[in-house]
Amino acid sequence: MKTENNKYPAYKDSGVEWLGEIPSGWATTRIKHLFKEINEKSCDGTEDLLSVSQYTGVTNKTERLDDGGMLTNATTLEGYKKVCEGDLVSNIMLAWNGSLGFSNFNGITSPAYSIYRLKTIDVSRYFHYLLRIDLYKTEFKRNSSGVIESRLRLYTDDFFRITSILPPKEEQSAIAAFLDRKTALIDKAISIKQKQIELLKERRQILIHKAVTRGLNPNVKMKDSGVEWIGEVPEGWEILPGFRVYKENKTKNTGMKEDVVLSLSYGKIVIKPEEKLTGLVPESFETYQIIKPGDIIIRCMDLQNDKTSLRTGIAINNGIITSAYLNLNIINGNNSNYVYNFIHSLDTTKVIYKFGTGLRQNLNYSDFKRLPIIVPPINEQNEIVNYIEIATTKIATAISLKEQENEKLKEYKATLINSAVTGKIKVSEV
């Protein structure tokens, strides 16, 4: 293939304002002239269940089902729509967000989805790329029906009215092959960097766990902690029950003393965006609890069904947070950041899940007040906190750089796809 630096010798007005110019040898046509809708239903629902997303296109949900997971909440898959390899599957509620794609599998999918099949000999891989670019997602949104974004639906008649770019078939094949090759290389580079990010995150977890359980002196004499899951600790350290390290705070926001609404997100206590407060009346915030910098916030609900989220955070602002969370105030002069790092380590290593009670494995303060806490002398707590701050800041910087590199690769991939399928660059056989 030639490089993506080539241009077509001549361009023409597509006749469609939002499409702009296209190569002079290309055409446009309504999608209804390219596709037909398929409404074949499964008789027994035994076929593989497929799903579609903006990120992965169509995937085999049966194959990627985790142990103990559920395929669907439906009691039967009888009547689900049949999908053949090469069919276009569209989630009509999220097509405007790119949730459509061509299937590489035979199977079935939700009756709420639309299934389309090419009725021409055009190249499905070309349209897989074309129909997922931002230009078309914007047009899908404009043609969708619904009052609010979450209710938008792209029905078949509206989808069929949209204009498609139509290169000659040999160019469709060349573009699809070019993009398959290029995007595979980009995806591989992204995957490598993502693995590097995960290794850095794992290194950060190990560093914190080692610091709060073994200290900073590698030559220190160790002793048995008396707690099986803790093991040995430095000789001068104590193992104390939680109630000697922190107390529960249930101070309600009576009289609206605070109006900054906070939330626990990805292990951070952050100010809740205003759009997330829609529907909440001011009076409801009186039931929230007041928190202050240094308080440790823990989401204690539903350990059984959610074993991936980070459940602990430390407050850096004054504000209020839902009373559904546990709020711990540090006592007896202990360093709140040290205690946070210890509990956070139990969170990231999933030790915290050992203490859940009830059918849905909830935690409450009675569990935490009995929790064995490793307590070094105060001066060592301070040293450990400083060490963790410096070391994790360096790791966070490295992670941020890798994430920025991945974002640039994703932007390059999107630009490359857009340029190829719309004819801004010329792709042809050598």
Q: What is the pLDDT of residues 187-226, one digit of tens each?
A: 999 999 999 999 999 999 999 999 999 999 999 999 999 9
Q: Is residue 103 part of a domain?
A: yes
Tell me, what's the pLDDT at 67? 40
Tell me what pLDDT residue 74 has: 56
Q: Is residue 15 part of a domain?
A: no
pLDDT of 363? 82
Domain assignment of residue 324, yes or no? yes
pLDDT-based confidence at 358, cuts 50/70/90?
low
pTM: 0.83
The torsion angles phi and psi of 135, rounded to 5 degrees, stand at -60, -45
One domain for residues 68 and 93? yes
**Are residue 290 and residue 343 in the same domain, yes or no?**
yes
Report in angstroms the alpha-carbon separations of 350 from 4, 69, 229, 232, 396.
Answer: 48, 19, 12, 19, 21
74 domain residue, yes or no: yes
The DSSP secondary structure of 19-62, one letter per residue, reads: T-EEETT-EEEEGGGTEEEE--B-SS--SPBEEEETTTEEEETT
Q: Would residue 8 count as lying in a domain?
A: no
Note whether 78 and 134 are same-domain residues: yes
**pLDDT-based confidence at 359, cuts 50/70/90?**
low
CA 384, CA 247: separation in Å to the nearest integer? 22
Q: Check whether residue 264 and residue 174 sit in a common domain.
A: no
Q: What is the CATH number of the domain that holds 285?
A: 3.90.220.20
pLDDT of 356 above 90: no
Same domain? For 364 and 421 the reply is no
Find all residues with CB under 8 Å of 423, minimum gap 6, and list them.
Answer: 8, 11, 22, 23, 26, 165, 167
Tell whether 325 and 217 lie within a shared domain: no
pLDDT at 160 over 80: yes
pLDDT at 133 over 90: yes
* Residue 2 pLDDT greater than 60, yes or no: no
Over residues 21-46, the pLDDT tens digits come to 999 999 999 999 999 999 999 988 88
- pLDDT recorded at residue 147: 79
Q: Rounded mean pLDDT of 85-106?
A: 93
Instruction: Report if residue 88 sits inside a domain.
Output: yes
Asked if residue 3 is part of any domain, the answer here is: no
| Domain's final residue, options 331, 358, 375 | 375
Beta bridge partners of 362: 357
Mark whether 354 and 401 lie in a shared domain.
no
Q: Are residues 274 and 202 in the same domain?
A: no
Q: Are residues 105 and 147 in the same domain?
A: yes
The mean predicted confidence, pLDDT, of the chain is 89
Residues 287 and 362 in one domain: yes
For residue 69, the model assigns a pLDDT of 44
Return the CATH number at 392: 1.10.287.1120
Contacting residues for 142 by C-beta, under 8 A, at least 6 apart? none
Residue predicted with more confidence, 19 or 429: 19
**pLDDT value for 307:** 63
- Boundary residue ending a domain (331, 355, 375): 375
Q: Give the structural domain span for 213.
A: 168-224+378-430
Q: pLDDT category, 4, cuts 50, 70, 90?
A: low
Same domain, 198 and 294: no
| pLDDT, tens digit, 9 for 90 and up, residues 315-331 | 999 999 999 899 999 99
Q: What is the reported pLDDT for 276?
A: 62
In a domain, 192, yes or no: yes
Residue 301 in 3-state DSSP?
coil
Cα–Cα distance list, 343 to 31, 51, 237, 352, 355 (Å) = 56, 38, 17, 8, 13
Q: Is the pLDDT of residue 70 over 50?
A: no
Report the pLDDT value the prediction gives residue 5, as an integer from 0 to 100.
Answer: 62
Number of domains in the chain: 3
Residues 176, 120 share a domain: no
Band the pLDDT of 278: cuts 50, 70, 90: low
- Look at residues 125, 151, 166 and tell me which one is the last residue of a structural domain: 166
pLDDT (tens digit per residue) in 231-276: 999 999 999 999 999 999 999 888 778 888 998 988 899 988 765 6
